[in-house]
Each structure stands twice: as structure tokens, then as C-alpha cells.
Amino acid sequence: MIRTALIAAATLLTAAPAFAADDASLALTFDTSARTGTIMVALYDASTYNGGRPVRVAQVDVAAGQTAATFEGLPAGDYGVKAFHDLNGNGRMDTNPFGMPVEPYAFSNNAVGNMGPAGWDRAKFTVSGATAQTISIR
């Protein structure tokens, strides 16, 4: 019985630091020349970046003077950001007849895609503790 209690206590003690280390935050600042509309932000992990649901989303009201989004309580790990500047406020990224975006967009690490969105390998970054990144919307 004592052995079981000690194993349980040891498990709790070793689990506590891991939980504290996983409590991370991400502060994103967006650099954009437009002062209207809203920046739509989607945060992904490795399993969702290429077509899954984002793990978190945010809206940055540029018209109201906002330029940043913060995600609290994230598990430490690798993430990628996809964002676009919804200039006309219709809630979606507008494209031309060929499917090319006509509103400004960006990816974490200011990654650039090749004939499409930036890939995970270019956009991923590690979130551990308090992490910050500035993304240029173009």
C-alpha cells in the first residue's frame, strides 16, 4: 500500500512540472499598411495546418486600431499561422476568377508559398513559454 502511494505521489510530482511547462502563450503582432477592416487569424498545429480545423482563431479589428492577437494557455509545441486582411468586412478571403487572393494575406515566419500557401516546413515555429512573433500582411 505504501509502495502504491509513493508511486502515485511520484507520478503527481513528475506530472506537475510538465503541466506548468505546457502553459504557453503566443502574442502575434501584425504589420499592415491598411487601416480598415479586420485581420482574420487561424492558428494550426502540425495535424491541422494542411486542411484541418484551426486549434484557435482570432479577429484583429484594424479599423479600431488593433494590431495584435494573443493566444493563452497553449500546449507547448509547433504551430503555424495563416492570416488574411478582410478589407471589405465580408468575413471571407476574396479571390479573382482564377482563385488567386485579392486581399492581403500572410503566414507565420513571414513564410512565402510557391504557387500556393506556405508549407508547414516554412511556417512552423515553436511556442514555449511566452512567445511573440510579428507578421507582415502583404
Continuous segment of H or E residues that includes residue 7: helix 2-22
Mean pLDDT of the chain: 86
pTM of the predicted model, to two decimals? 0.82
Q: Are strands 77-86 and 38-44 parallel, antiparallel or unpaired?
A: antiparallel
Name the residue with higher pLDDT: 11 or 79: 79
Which ranges constitute the DSSP H helices of 23-119? none
In the predicted structure, residue 9 carries a pLDDT above the cut 60:
no
Confidence of residue 14 (pLDDT cuts 50, 70, 90): very low
